Chains A and B, each alone.
Chain A
Amino acid sequence: MALSAHTLKVGDTHEEQIVNNRPRTQLVQYSGASGDYNPIHTDEVFATKVAGYPSVFAHGMLTMGMTGKMLTNYVGDGRLTKYGVRFTRQVWPGDVLTAKATVEALREEGGKHFIDLTVSTVNQEGAEVLSGYASARIDP
């Protein structure tokens, strides 16, 4: 399952559609699991009338979590050593998101092999909603 250094090269990519027509209920589900009950993510009345947004919008951490699924599908379970992101645009109910990892570098440190990736998630209009990086331990 794990990636092998000898089969990878810089520029290789892995891409997955992580959500299609994101439902509002998923925001409720994520609030309950994560403990972030900010009403801006689940309370349409508050989000529109008080906060001034067109609707509720997703937790940044939900998009990071879903992008993390693409990463662990690619690098294998328990292999990530680093994962970091910037939230560049809000994600709305109904959005379709695609997450992509691109191989930036392959390294060897103390006899262990690692991969460095850039990470990007875009919406149905191709606009980036999350940009980041990850590193993982790989096989030789």
Chain B
Amino acid sequence: MAAKKFPIEAGHIMLFARAVGDDNQIYHDEDYAKTTEPGTIIAPPTFAIASAQFDPDYPLRPKSGQPWFGSGKEPTGVQRSSGGGGGGGGGGLHAEQHFEYHRHLKPGDVLTATVKPGKTWEKEGRRSGKLVFSETITEYRDQKGELVITARGVGVRTERPVDQN
């Protein structure tokens, strides 16, 4: 369900910062980082989401020897029994994400994520039919057991792909 151990690593922070187009030296240059207020390399504000890499059951990662719903020989490797757009079988779309920072992450931290289900609600969408929202609260604690980040995500499943007009 969640990452039991999420090691915060400098190389991973560098790759993540590059992917979001952020060339701030504090994300990759230790010597520079020492001269800043945090005094160390820190992780960008949305980095906790990359805990997915350390979640053994994360559904949006191909796993060795198992069928994958992306394309291969056919447009999808998994035959779905029912329709439903948006997520294309992959866990719906991301509707909201909230982070509360008790402190910022740095290389050497080892986090543990605890996931709690939140509310579920429905709405009739103009562009995608019935929408089913569900909330997940993830608490990230460090190696000392202290709460460092509280994350609240809201996912949505749509009845059909979102109309682009």
Contacts and interface: CB of A to CB of B under 8 A. Distances in A.
Partners in one complex: yes
Contacts of B90: 38-40
B61 A37 contact: yes
A59 to B, nearest CB: 7
A113 interface: no
Given A35-B61, A39-B90, A77-B37, A84 B18 contact: no
B50 A34 contact: yes
Given A38-B91, A43-B71, A77 B26 contact: yes
Report the interface size class on chain A.
Answer: 35 or more
Interface stretch (A3-11, A63-71, A102-110): A63-71
Nearest to B59: A38
A77 B24 contact: yes
B76 to A, nearest CB: 5
B12 interface: yes
Q: Is the interface of B mostly helix, strand, loop or mixed?
A: loop
Interface of A: 1-2, 18-19, 26, 29-30, 32-40, 43, 45-47, 49-54, 59-62, 64-66, 68-69, 71-73, 76-78, 80-87, 90
Contacts of A26: 19, 21
Contacts of A73: 24
A69 B44 CA distance: 8
Contact of A87 (B15, B45, B94, B164): B94
A130 to B, nearest CB: 10
A78 B44 CA distance: 9
Contacts of A86: 95-96
A52 B36 contact: no
Contacts of A47: 88
A43 B16 CA distance: 20
B129 interface: no
Contacts of B37: 1-2, 76-78
Contact of B42 (A46, A65, A77, A84): A77
20 contacts: A18-B21, A29-B18, A30-B20, A32-B15, A33-B15, A35-B52, A35-B58, A35-B60, A40-B88, A45-B75, A49-B71, A50-B71, A52-B85, A65-B22, A71-B45, A77-B36, A78-B38, A82-B99, A84-B98, A84-B152
B160 A52 contact: yes
Nearest to A88: B95
Q: Report, nearest first, the 3 A-B pairs whose CB atoms are least far apart.
A: A39-B70, A84-B98, A65-B20
B107 interface: no
Contacts of B101: 80-83
B99 A83 contact: yes
B136 to A, nearest CB: 14
A28 to B, nearest CB: 9
Nearest to A64: B46
B117 interface: no
